[in-house]
Structure 1
């Protein structure tokens, strides 16, 4: 039984039974294919049924020496564990060689955020005298104003915008939908973009219901959104490493700073667990710590 065959079966399992998103699925499959390459080149004749715990440990040790981040290493362990757990459940193996694997201990990850002034500087850097600029302005405002993932942004359907009640239906991870309120200002920008910019495109029939389009009338790619944000950040003179996800983190952080309940933020972000959303309480704690260090009389010299 070959690696390729079992990886394909694993892909089907993750996609249809575990309901993995495309991005998570791609990451898991890349990780297992790396293991396949190692087994085929360094462990000649060793298939997924024969590989041992010791061999998996050695593989991970060799990878760790290449100075990959701890988060990457933790994901490799997670992917490998999921793969061999699947093989056991599918009765391909009677033992699980990955069950005792341990990933690196991860510290608390505090995501980068933008201040509201930073957001304003980035939006001000957009040349809204052009159709492209108007589209980009609308796109950034929706990304920040709704706390979306980049994959959710480029998949927004016009039919999912409710102008009467001012909300957006978002198709999120694992085919889970949620409803995000739209500010009047954001709604006006969307209407203006659709009426005065999008209507000028020759739209590919396949993408007639997609909100944000490229100049060829097709859906935008994740890469293009990254590039647009990188260029605007540089133009605004902001030195932080900014990605589309930074706007999502900033959305949540600003809501919390202004007194929003954590559970409402969880709903708007589409987090299945409140634990994921609680990362933003740590951000607030860091902010409070800075206030104490900078303004408490015992710390002022």
Structure 2
């Protein structure tokens, strides 16, 4: 698999599946010896998680032309990604009826595994959605975010628009993509004292693994504690 260019995470996923299968056969007495017993997972080298700064987010918003429909839509999408941390495929799957402005929540669906969850939205996000929906008007499609041709916006179109806006805004050092907004949402939530279980529920993670990564990277407690045990601080005091 490595020779064919498969990623470490993909290889480990397949190894886990094969290992589980042979463990099952061994436990049922179907095989005399488990060939996966001594097969180890590959060490996954995790890439640094990139996030937007507040200045970069503001620059993106300033790059939008609010005099056009696409501008208002893109502006709303940027705020929505930042407010909810939803995945790109989830964003594109949201329907108008999924948005509950009065209760301040949005029903988010994962098209892949059919799981659903409610994600909270604040007053300013609700106000922006009202502005967008008024301009969007009544359409035959149920999709929340649409193109100028009144069709559901695609993942590729969202990625393309964000990349264009990032270039226009002069964003450097970070990829201007929907997933960067997801990371940024996680970072800002943790810095604002969000609980790990609440964050897991909002992000829709099936396990705590990724949430722990976010906490370890962004927790203000970790950064605050460093001031107390920093060797250099102690040495040069």
Give the counterpart of 1:224 among 147, 157, 160: 157
What RMSD, in angstroms, separates the aligned Cα atoms of the two structures? 3.3
Q: Does 1:188 align with 2:131?
A: no
In structure 2, relative to structure 1, the CA distance for the partners of 1:109 and 1:98 (3 Å cut) is: farther
After superposing on structure 2, the runs of 4+ consecutive aligned residues of structure 1 that deviate more than 3 Å are: 68-79, 94-103, 107-110, 291-294, 296-301
Q: Residue 285 of structure 1: CA displacement? A: 5.6
Q: Does 1:252 align with 2:179?
A: no
Q: Residue 276 of structure 1: CA displacement? A: 2.6
SS of equivalent to 1:175: coil
Give the counterpart of 2:88 among 150, 167, 174: 150
Bigger relative contact order (CA 8 A; separation at least 6): 2
In the alignment, structure 1 segments of 5+ residues that lack a partner are 1-59
In structure 2, relative to structure 1, the CA distance for the partners of 1:280 and 1:299 (3 Å cut) is: farther
Give the counterpart of 1:175 among 114, 124, 127: 114
Give the counterpart of 1:262 among 193, 196, 199: 196
Paired residues of 2:81 and 2:178 also in contact (CA < 8 A): yes
Paired residues of 1:110 and 1:279 also in contact (CA < 8 A): no
SS of equivalent to 1:137: helix
SS of equivalent to 2:118: strand
Query: What is the aligned partner in structure 2 of residue 211 from structure 1?
Result: 144
In 2, the alpha carbon distance for the partners of 1:272 and 1:136 equals 29
Give the counterpart of 1:163 among 101, 108, 123: 101
In structure 2, relative to structure 1, the CA distance for the partners of 1:288 and 1:195 (3 Å cut) is: same
SS of equivalent to 2:3: helix
CA shift digits 1:97-151 (9 cap, x unpaired): 9846544211345421112222221111111111110010011111111111001
Q: Does 1:138 align with 2:79?
A: no
Q: How many residues align?
A: 226
Q: Does 1:62 align with 2:3?
A: yes
Q: Residue 241 of structure 1: CA displacement? A: 1.9
SS of equivalent to 2:142: coil
Paired residues of 2:94 and 2:144 also in contact (CA < 8 A): yes
In structure 2, relative to structure 1, the CA distance for the partners of 1:152 and 1:299 (3 Å cut) is: farther
The residue correspondences of 1:65-104 to structure 2 (distance < 5 A) are 69-75=7-13, 77=15, 81=18, 85=21, 99=36, 102-104=40-42
Structure with the higher helix share, 1 or 2: 1
In 2, the alpha carbon distance for the partners of 1:212 and 1:189 equals 13
CA shift digits 1:193-246 (9 cap, x unpaired): 1112x127xx4x4xx211001121111111111111111111111121232111
In the alignment, structure 2 segments of 5+ residues that lack a partner are none
In 2, the alpha carbon distance for the partners of 1:226 and 1:212 equals 13
In 1, the alpha carbon distance for the partners of 2:7 and 2:2 equals 13
